[in-house]
Chains A and B, each alone.
Chain A
């Protein structure tokens, strides 16, 4: 009998260890996958893979930055001397245009004559810059010069201010506006939610009667159960026009509307955890404080709040986590304009909204796809940083208290 029990106990132990290690392994694998996919981005050329930029050999230009390439094809740079070339107008040429220049039959059945035709066009136009697939490049043509390819650079990714991932020929992956947008919206959401949430938590744990508490608690928990897309819809139809009219703004889809929605969504988390922490204050401490002649308010802010500070920090961190990772509601109310935020009353684009909106159509394995994974890595790093620092703070406070 005893032996059987021992065996069962050992088996349970092994199973528990196993499930624990499987969970940690799964998390580790997810992180490795995320980072592997993400950092693959920097092995991609800055011009779309499989394509090359060609110019006439008589053109002295040797190098163009991704930014310059984009501006040339947007007709913002119109002469070669702006990129250290001759004083001539630039003629941007996209591959598709060849099909409107020659009839289809002239390319041959398997397009075997296409390279020659492309070569012809480049030779005839000394000021051309042609964006063509590498497979149709005529290698031995001496009067065609291919611009050197460089990979997407780390500093362009983290320092770039333009997010145009589907621009051809040179997509722009500047994540700075996205990171700033995410932090901006979350920061103001917490700024709104923290005082409100703390107020409600104090009221519920210290001041409210049993009956009101019984009524309020499920109501707040219900608030956490509403799907985020419903919040987003509510935000778009009710909050956005309200913000626009009340503040007479040109646009209602602003960071402010996003912060408001996120604040509402983070409230239940903050309230529940903070309240639980305050309720956890030992009865002896409260009574001692009251016995020493402290009023109810003095007890709250001198005894209970400091005692519950680690729980409150946890509440704030979880609230921030909720705000930073929130996708759907923000996607619907912030307008998703990828600009550097400099005011609260302006449209912003957040990282989760970008991933959600763009992953569907980004071709698997391409630069755009990998850049979205890298955005996921950045999001992961931000939440990690927040939780680590929160742990650090709460630990320090605990030591001081004792």
Chain B
């Protein structure tokens, strides 16, 4: 009797394990994974997908310890992380699920609407302190940043500041919503948010990465045709040995239906 119970339990657990998959990592990708997982489970009622956030670094750590099948990252895997995974005998595979564009935003009353990357670097590293230095009114610039734990913070630092440090004593807000709120209240403010968060309380800046020759507006269309420069890919990483298990979900995300969800959420589709 005992034996039968034990075997059934083991069987159930095994069955459950085959069907269940866990996704962990970046908070930026959370809405995307959650929504696609929901739709995916509707089509495949036998499978369960659980999605948790915590940050890109957390996702990789979980993949390393085997507590997740898929890691979602809003940045590319770091060389060290790849090495650590290799030491554990895991070769990671990478899938780009969507793209996300970062928009630079200011208060709606601000006259400035074009900025070059160099000017942005000056503003966020503290070298440019007044709006009149970049063709605006005589008013101090108040740059807002995200907290250091955010993948967006790292990406902005890499892409716009060319890995230089933010000025010490920059205002840092715990969430994107708080940045929008603060910028809509502060006349001299400037900050960065995901394209999906743009609304009429803030004004998006046209950015130039070629020294001021062309300024591009942050829109989905411009991000898609690659004329808008501050775009980052959003990745899924998984262990190659687990491929059979995660493939159906990945295929679903990359399918026409999955990509429709991508654009509904405000990200840019892969194709």
Contacts and interface: CB of A to CB of B under 8 A. Distances in A.
B218 interface: no
B149 A360 contact: yes
A158 interface: no
Nearest to B80: A133
A179 interface: no
B interface, over-half SS: loop
B171 A250 contact: no
B57 A74 contact: no
Contacts of A347: 169, 171
Contacts of A253: 171, 182
B168 A251 contact: no
A331 B174 contact: yes
A73, A75, A167 interface centre (most CB from chain B within 10 Å): A167
Interface string B177-190: 01001100111110
B174 A357 contact: yes
Interface in B77-123: 79-80
Given A236-B178, A337-B171, A360 B165 contact: no
B198 interface: no
A253 B142 CA distance: 11
Contact of A251 (B142, B166, B181): B142
Interface in A347-377: 347, 349, 357-358, 360-363
A70 B165 contact: yes
B57 A337 contact: no
B163 A244 contact: no
Contacts of B189: 251
Contacts of A338: 168-169
Interface in A311-361: 331-332, 335-339, 347, 349, 357-358, 360-361
A166 interface: yes
A95 B170 CA distance: 27
B212 interface: no
Contact of A336 (B140, B168, B171, B186): B171
Given A166-B148, A251-B186, A339-B169, A237 B181 contact: yes
Interface in A146-187: 161-168, 172, 177
B168 A240 contact: no
Interface string A29-63: 00000000000000000000010000000000000
Contacts of B58: 360-361
Contacts of B79: 95-96, 133
Contacts of B165: 70, 73-74, 164, 167
B125, B164, B166 interface centre (most CB from chain A within 10 Å): B164
A94 interface: yes
B173 interface: yes
B39 interface: no
A337 B178 contact: no
A240 B170 contact: no
Nearest to B172: A336
Given A74-B125, A332-B174, A360 B54 contact: yes
Contacts of B148: 165-166, 357-358, 361
A165 B166 CA distance: 12
B221 interface: no
Contacts of A250: 139-140, 142, 186-188
Contacts of B61: 363
A332 B178 CA distance: 8
Interface in B39-66: 54-55, 57-58, 61
A364 to B, nearest CB: 8
Contacts of B147: 336, 357-358
A337 B186 CA distance: 16
A172 B174 CA distance: 21
A67 B169 CA distance: 16
Interface string B140-166: 101000011110001000000001111
A74, A95, A177, A349 interface centre (most CB from chain B within 10 Å): A74
A335 B163 contact: no
Contact of A75 (B142, B164, B187): B164
Interface of B: 54-55, 57-58, 61, 79-80, 125, 139-140, 142, 147-150, 154, 163-166, 168-174, 178, 181-182, 185-189
Given A244-B185, A337-B172, 15 more contacts: A50-B80, A73-B163, A166-B154, A167-B165, A236-B182, A250-B187, A251-B189, A252-B182, A335-B172, A337-B170, A339-B168, A357-B174, A358-B147, A360-B55, A361-B148
27 contacts: A50-B80, A73-B163, A74-B125, A74-B164, A75-B164, A95-B79, A96-B79, A236-B178, A237-B181, A240-B182, A244-B186, A251-B171, A251-B186, A251-B188, A252-B185, A253-B171, A332-B178, A335-B173, A335-B182, A337-B169, A338-B168, A339-B168, A349-B172, A357-B174, A358-B149, A360-B149, A361-B150
